[in-house]
Structures are given as C-alpha cells and as structure tokens.
Amino acid sequence: MNCIKIETTDLNLYYGNYHALKAVTMDIRADAVTALIGPSGCGKSTFLKTINRMNDLIQGVRITGRVCLDGEEIYAPGVDVTTLRRRVGMVFQQPNPFPMSIYDNIAYGPRVHGEKNKNRLDEIVERSLRRAAIWEETKDRLKKPAPGLSGGQQQRLCIARALAVEPEVLLLDEPTSALDPVSSLRIEELLLQLKKSYTIVIVTHNMQQAVRISDDTAFFLAGTVVEWGRTGQFFSRPRDRKTMDYIAGRYG
C-alpha cells in the first residue's frame, strides 16, 4: 500500500498581515492522486505552492510549522530549493511553454541540472513526451517552436517538461481550467496513468474531476483544511457540515 510522501504539521502562512493558511495538518500519500478542493481564495493554491517552496518568490511571505518530504523538513535551514523543486515538479494553470522549440522545452530541466550528453537528452525527451502521451503528435516537429501547439497539447508538453527531471511529486494547479473539455479529459487520463509512479497533488475547481481522478481529497475553506481523507468516503459520507454544504453546491 501507499506510504506517506508529504506531511504537513501545523502549517501557517502569512502574506504580510494576512493569515492565508491556518494550522494545516495533513498527509499526502505516495503514488496516489490527492485533490485539493474549495472555493476561490481558500488557500488551496497557496498550500500547493508551499510544497515546492514557490512561495519563496513572493515578497513578505512568512511560514511557520513543518512540511516534510519523505520525513525531511523542507523549510529547514540548509535545504537546497533547486534540489527540492527537482523532486517536486509543478504544472501551472496557464500552459506556459518557454519560447523555444519543443525539444528544448523538455530538455530545459535536465540541462538545468547538468545533463549535457546529447544522446541521453534525446532519450529523456522521447521518454518524457511518451509518458505525457504527446509523443505521437510531436515527434515530427521537435524542433518547432512550442508556443505553436494547441492549448491542450501545450499543457501536456508542460507535464512532460516537468517529468523530464524525474520528479517524485507532481503538483498541478488547476491544470485543466484553461482548456476545453476534450483536452481536459485527455489530461485526466494522463494523470491516472502517471499516478502509478508519481505522487500527484492537484488543485481543482471541478468536483467531478476530483471524484473522477483522485484517491484522496482535502477540502479547504478560508485557509483551513476542513476535512481530508479517501475520496470515496469524502464525497459519500462527509463528516463536516461545511463539507456537505460545499459538495451540495452551497458555496461559491
């Protein structure tokens, strides 16, 4: 069965004076899909970003509490964030291919981490594109600019790009909200494939999506985790009144 990949304990996050995450304590299982749901501004994206320390980029952020990856505290002094982010990859809401060729997009991460061998890079590019189920569509145009792909293809490319550095965890921040329904479904299928070997955490606005693809679900409201657990139980027998209201569509 699955071990715990990430655990947070009493995690608080402040943007200046604004208390954005309040005492978040939860676990994320390895090789499973965890969905974070909740109304806009509830802190689910913020929580996601604490896992690979992307909040470091924002001015005036202060964090207390613990976030552990495989038992190692990631906010401890002496942590190398570049290594952390290599192990915990991220895919953003808007597909963001770099303005370079498809090949160079995928090879970007490995090159960042020091891979120079052409043959190995070729291998990584093909493997990553295959895993992200976009190899067939791109194998004949690897040298073409990536921004020329369609939105759905761009997002799968971004997933492939994230996979190219062999991460263990994949964070996805509403990866399908900018896409059409067909492209969204393809991404969902892809995630179900990927969870066999990756820990996946996905923020989504779409509850159906959470039901379809996730193993665990956590419900965020106003910076707190109201409830978290197995997706089946979460949706069929929620313990908290607020969760029930949200599932029934009584929140935004």
Partner 1 sequence: MPRKIKDAVAYMVIYLAAFYSVLLLAGIIVYVFAKGFPVFDLPFFTTVSSVVKGTVGIAGNILNTVYIVVLTLLAAVPAGVGAAVWLNEYATPGRGVRLIEFATETLAGIPSIVFGLFGMMFFGTTLGFGYSILTGSLTLSLMILPLITRNTQEALRAVPDSYRNGAIGMGAGKWHMIRTILLPSAMPGIVTGILLAVGRIVGESAALLFTAGSGYLLPEAGSGFVSKIMESGGTLTIQMYLSLARAEYDTAFGIAAVLLCIVLAFNLLIKILTRNKFFAG
Partner 2 sequence: MDIGIHGVRQTAHNTPQGRLGLSVTEKRSHTQRIETAAEAIFTLCACCMVFAVGSITLYMIANGIPAIYKLGAREILFSSVWKPTAADPSFGILYVILTSVAGTVLAIFLGVPVALLTAVFLTEAAPRPLAAVVRPAIELLAGIPSVVYGLLGMLVLNPLVYRLEQWVFRGSQTHQFTGGANLLSAVLVLAIMILPTVISVSETALRAVPEQLRASSMALGASRIQTIFQIILPAARPGIVTAVVLGVGRAVGEAMAVNLVSGGCVNVPLPFCSVRFLTTAIVSEMGYAEGLHRQALFTIGLVLFGFIMLVNILLHKILREEKG
- 74 touches which of partner 2, partner 1, none (CB within 5 to 8 A by kind)? partner 2
Nearer to partner 2, 150 or 233 (CB): 233
Verify binding: residue 131, partner 1, rule CB under 8 A.
Answer: no
According to CB under 8 A, which one of 115, 126, 137, 168 is a site residue for partner 2? Answer: 168
According to CB under 8 A, which one of 71, 77, 78, 99 is a site residue for partner 1? Answer: 99
Nearer to partner 1, 148 or 252 (CB): 148
Q: H or E segment at 72?
A: strand 72-73
Parallel, antiparallel or unpaired: strands 33-37 and 61-69: unpaired
Binding mask 220-239 for partner 2 (x = CB under 8 A): -------xxxx--xx----x
Amino acid at 45: S
Q: H or E segment at 47?
A: helix 44-51
Verify binding: residue 59, partner 1, rule CB under 8 A.
Answer: yes
Residues linked to residue 36 through DSSP beta bridges, in sequence order = 203, 218
Question: What are the start-end ranges of the H helices in 88-179?
Answer: 102-112, 118-131, 135-138, 151-163
According to CB under 8 A, which one of 64, 83, 94, 117 is a site residue for partner 2? Answer: 83
Site for partner 1 in 160-179 (CB under 8 A): 161-162, 165
CB 167 within 8 Å of CB 89: yes
According to CB under 8 A, which one of 86, 131, 161, 195 is a site residue for partner 2? Answer: 86
Separation of alpha carbons 7 and 27, rounded Å: 4
Verify binding: residue 166, partner 2, rule CB under 8 A.
Answer: yes
Separation of alpha carbons 179 and 47, rounded Å: 23
Please state the separation of Cα 209 from the chain's center in Å: 14
Provide the binding-site residues for partner 2, judged by CB under 8 A: 1-5, 7, 25-27, 29-30, 69-72, 74, 76, 78-80, 82-84, 86-87, 166, 168, 216, 227-230, 233-234, 239
